[in-house]
Amino acid sequence: MSPGGHSSGFFFRKYGVPLAVFLFLIALYSAHAYLTTPTSLHKTRTVTQDLYSWMGQVNGKGIVGESNPLWPEGSLVSLPIYPVDVFPESRLEFSFNVSGRNVHLQFNRTLKVVYYIAYDKDRIFEATYATLSKSGSGSGFSDSITLNVTDLYRQLEAASSYLRLPKESAGVDVIGEVSYSGTVDGIPVKGNQKLRGEITFPYQGFYSIKGDSQNSTMTTSKKVPYTVRVNQKKRTAYKTLALVSAVGGVLSLGLWFGNRKMEIPEEFLEHIEQERKYRKWISRGRLENFVPYIKIRADTLEDLVNAAIDMNERVIYDESSGVYFFVKEGIMYYYPEPEGLRKNQNLN
């Protein structure tokens, strides 16, 4: 037997079972971690989306007051400027519509005509000439009022003649106001809007109508769930560790079982330990044609090595005879390895 031989076999005979248990525990822990580590994470994020759009409009048209070669009497005409004699009345309209899913709204609205006289753009006098108030439900409305422009013009002239202001200006505001509340797509909503048109008198006996149109889109925010994939590298590491540890445990048990087919005598185990411990003090060689006059046998390999160290010698191992020895002053100190050690295959 060579010094240091049978080390792997001895290791697995002594530590194979504890090593296998340790590896199986690691495999179980890794498998549990692999199975319980989540692969996805559920989160929510706030998303803003359009809920509904609204469009409101205040405008007006002249009403033809008498027969003429241009327009039929009573027809509505849209012009940039209207002669009061030809269009003594005008039709003012206030419309408001909401578009969206499942619109259910209640509308309260007012269409008001206010005339005024101003001095250097500061209003000195104003009065309400006409008012139309309504309420209703649905997704929108369209209201109209007929305005006697001739009468309104006369009242403005009367007020102007009475005040006689320098830097005077006069005009008419057409104001549409609406408040609404209800639900759109099942979500409660409410709002208020105000639109303002105007009627001006740029020249004597003429008027013009300027409308107002507004629109907007209202949004709502809601939380939307989404899924994120997580822990992919961690789960791969756990899986690999579980497989490697399980295979290592099986191999360790196999080597332990393969190296314990024969019961190993305590003497063999003690010799192997001493051989490993004193490996650096042992060399290989053969003793040929030498007959010592004195032979001293050591009880153990450890005793032989200690004696060699004390005498400043090295121990020689003769593999052919299985004898450890050294010679000093014609005396051979030796220790034979245990009988049957080299024949025991379970030590390999």
Q: What is the pLDDT of residues 299-334, one digit of tens each?
A: 888 898 999 999 999 999 988 888 999 988 888 999
CA distance to 5, 134, 142, 196, 214, per residue, from 179 (Å): 100, 11, 14, 15, 15
Ramachandran angles phi, psi of 190, nearest 5°: -160, 160
**Mean local confidence (pLDDT), 132-153:** 94
Q: Report the half-sphere exposure of 189 (CA within 13 A, side-chain side).
A: 29
Tell whether the model's pLDDT for residue 142 goes beyond 60.
yes
Ramachandran angles phi, psi of 290, nearest 5°: -130, 125
68 burial level (CB within 10 Å; 0-12, 13-18, 19+): exposed
Exposure string of 170-207, with b = 16+ CB inside 10 Å and e = fewer, is: bbbbbbbbbebebebeeeebeeebebebbbebeeeebb
Position 67 confidence tier, pLDDT thresholds 50, 70, 90: confident
**Mean local confidence (pLDDT), 96-105:** 95
**pLDDT tens track for 101-141:** 999 999 999 999 999 988 888 888 889 999 999 999 999 99
Contact predicate 95/57, CB 8 Å = yes
- Based on its alpha-carbon atoms, the radius of gyration of the chain, rounded to whole angstroms, reads 56
Tell whether the model's pLDDT for residue 10 goes beyond 90.
no
Q: Which residues pair with 159 in a beta bridge?
A: none
Residue 347 has a pLDDT of: 39
Position 342 confidence tier, pLDDT thresholds 50, 70, 90: low
DSSP code for 116: E
What dihedral do alpha carbons 231, 232, 235, 241 form, nearest 10°? -130
- Among 73, 76, 108, CA closest to 94: 108
Residue written as tokens 């160290």? 309
What dihedral do alpha carbons 62, 63, 68, 70 form, nearest 10°? 50
DSSP code for 279: G
Position 7 confidence tier, pLDDT thresholds 50, 70, 90: low
Contact predicate 85/99, CB 8 Å = no
pTM of the model: 0.57
Give 338-342 contacts, CB < 8 A, sequence gap 24+.
338/265, 338/267, 338/268, 338/271, 341/1, 341/268, 341/271, 342/1
